[in-house]
C-alpha cells in the first residue's frame, strides 16, 4: 500500500505543473504532504477489509460509501474535486458519471486482496461505480487493479502492456519522451491512465517509476499514486522510503495500512 502513498507524497509538491519536469529531485522535503489520493486509498482499504474478501456487490458498495464519507470528512481539505466533496457531504450519495482520475488513484487496495484477475477487476469496478460510473472512470480503476494483480503474480511488463492495450484499449505506444513536451495537469482517466502506465513500463524499479512521473509532470501526485501502486506490486518499495513516508502520515492512517498489510501478508 505504501507504493501508492509514497507516489502521492512525492508528487504532491509538483502537481498543477509546478515542477521542472526532471528526474533529478528530492523525494521527501518540507513541502511534501499526503493528499486526497492517500486518504481515499485508505478509505478503500478499510472498506474492502470491513466487507471481507468474498463479499457481494451490495455489501462492498455499502462499506465503500460509508468509509469514503468518513475519511472524506476527516480530511476535507486533502484536494478533492467539488463534485466529490458534495458527494461526501450528501445524505444520499449517488454516482455522478465521473471519468476523473480519482477512480484510478484510490483503487490500489483491490489490486492486492483477491485471488483471481476476474475478482480483482470486479471489486475494482465497484470501487469506481459508487462515484465514477462513467465507462472511462470504471476502466481507470479496473486497469490499475488488473495491472497490479498481474505484476504481483509475476507477469512481465510486456504481458501487462499487452493486456492493458487489449482489454482497455489504452494507447501505450507513446514513449515518455513523446508524452513529456505537451503534457499538462489534467484530471481525467483518458489522459492519466496511459501516461501512468508508461511511467511504470519504462522503469526497472520503484524509484525509477516515481522519477519517471516527475519527468513527464501533470497531475503528479495522482500519477505517482497510480504508477507507484503498480510498481510496488512489481518490485516492492524500498524500506527507507516507507520510513520517511510515515513521518508525513497521521497515526490513524498508518493503522489502516498496518491492518491492510497484515491481511495481505499471505499473498506477497
Q: Which residues bind Mg ion (CB under 5 A)?
A: 35-37, 79, 221
Task: Label residue 116 exposed, middle or buried (CB < 10 Å: 0-12, 13-18, 19+).
Answer: exposed
Q: How far is the CB of 82 from Mg ion (least distance, A)?
A: 14
Distance in angstroms (rounded) separating the CA atoms of residues 41 and 217 = 22
> Which of 13/211 has CB closer to Mg ion?
13
CB of residue 107 vs Mg ion: minimum separation in angstroms? 14
Q: Which three cell numbers stand for residue 178?
A: 513523446
Q: How far is Cα 63 from Cα 113, in angstroms, rounded to an integer?
A: 16
Nearer residue to Mg ion within complex by CB, 13 or 152: 13
Question: How many C-beta atoms lie closer than 10 Å to residue 166's C-beta?
Answer: 9
Q: Which is nearer to Mg ion, 37 or 129 (CB)?
A: 37
Task: Give the nearer residue to Mg ion in terms of CB position, either 87 or 114.
Answer: 87
For residue 14, give the C-alpha cell. 509538483
List, as one string, the DSSP characters of 30-82. TT----HHHHHHHHHHHHHHHH-TT--HHHHHHHHHHHHHHHHHHSTTS---H
Question: Judged by CB, which is closer to Mg ion: 137, or 149?
Answer: 137
Instruction: Considering the complex, state which of residue 46 and residue 221 has its C-beta at the smaller distance from Mg ion.
Output: 221
Which of 167, 143, 141, 152 lies closest to 113, judged by CA?
152
In whole angstroms, what is the distance from residue 1 CA to residue 45 CA? 9
Least distance between Mg ion and beta carbon 36 (Å)? 4
Q: Which residue is nearest to Mg ion (CB)?
A: 35
Closest distance of CB 221 from Mg ion, Å? 4
Q: Report in angstroms how near the CB of residue 222 gets to Mg ion at its nearest.
A: 5
Residue 37 CB, shortest distance to Mg ion, in Å, is 5
C-alpha cell at 237: 518499495
> Shortest distance, CB of residue 84 to Mg ion, whole angstroms?
11
* 202: its cell numbers: 519504462
Compute CA distances 171 → 110, 189, 197, whole Å: 24, 13, 10
**Closer CB to Mg ion, 73 or 174, in the complex:** 73
List alpha helices for 130-183, DSSP H. Answer: 135-152, 157-168, 176-179
Amino acid at each position: 500500500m505504501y507504493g501508492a502513498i509514497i507516489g502521492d507524497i512525492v508528487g504532491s509538491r509538483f502537481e498543477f505543473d509546478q515542477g521542472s519536469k526532471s528526474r533529478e529531485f528530492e523525494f521527501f522535503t518540507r513541502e511534501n504532504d499526503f493528499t486526497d489520493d492517500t486518504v481515499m486509498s485508505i478509505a478503500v482499504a478499510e472498506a474492502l477489509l470491513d466487507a471481507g474478501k468474498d463479499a457481494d456487490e451490495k455489501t462492498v458498495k455499502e462499506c465503500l460509501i460509508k468509509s469514503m464519507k468518513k475519511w472524506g470528512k476527516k480530511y476535507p481539505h486533502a484536494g478533492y474535486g467539488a463534485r466529490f466533496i458534495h458527494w461526501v457531504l450528501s445524505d444520499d450519495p449517488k454516482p455522478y458519471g465521473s471519468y476523473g482520475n480519482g477512480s484510478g488513484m484510490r483503487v490500489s487496495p483491490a489490486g492486492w486482496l483477491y485471488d483471481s484477475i476476474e475478482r480483482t477487476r470486479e471489486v475494482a469496478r465497484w470501487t469506481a461505480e459508487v462515484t465514477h460510473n462513467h465507462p472511462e472512470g470504471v476502466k481507470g480503476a479496473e486497469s490499475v487493479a488488473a495491472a497490479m494483480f498481474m505484476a504481483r503474480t509475476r507477469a512481465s511488463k510486456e504481458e501487462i502492456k499487452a493486456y492493458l492495450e487489449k482489454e482497455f484499449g489504452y494507447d501505450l505506444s507513446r514513449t515518455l519522451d513523446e508524452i513529456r513536451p505537451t503534457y499538462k495537469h489534467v484530471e481525467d482517466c483518458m489522459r492519466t491512465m496511459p501516461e501512468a502506465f508508461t511511467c511504470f513500463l519504462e522503469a526497472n524499479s520503484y524509484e525509477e517509476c516515481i522519477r519517471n512521473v516527475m519527468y513527464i509532470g501533470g497531475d503528479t501526485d495522482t500519477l505517482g499514486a497510480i504508477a507507484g501502486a503498480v510498481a510496488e506490486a512489481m518490485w516492492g518499495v524500498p524500506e527507507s522510503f516507507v520510513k520517511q513516508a510515515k513521518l508525513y502520515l497521521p497515526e490513524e492512517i498508518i493503522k489502516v495500512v498496518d491492518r491492510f498489510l497484515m491481511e495481505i501478508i499471505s499473498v506477497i
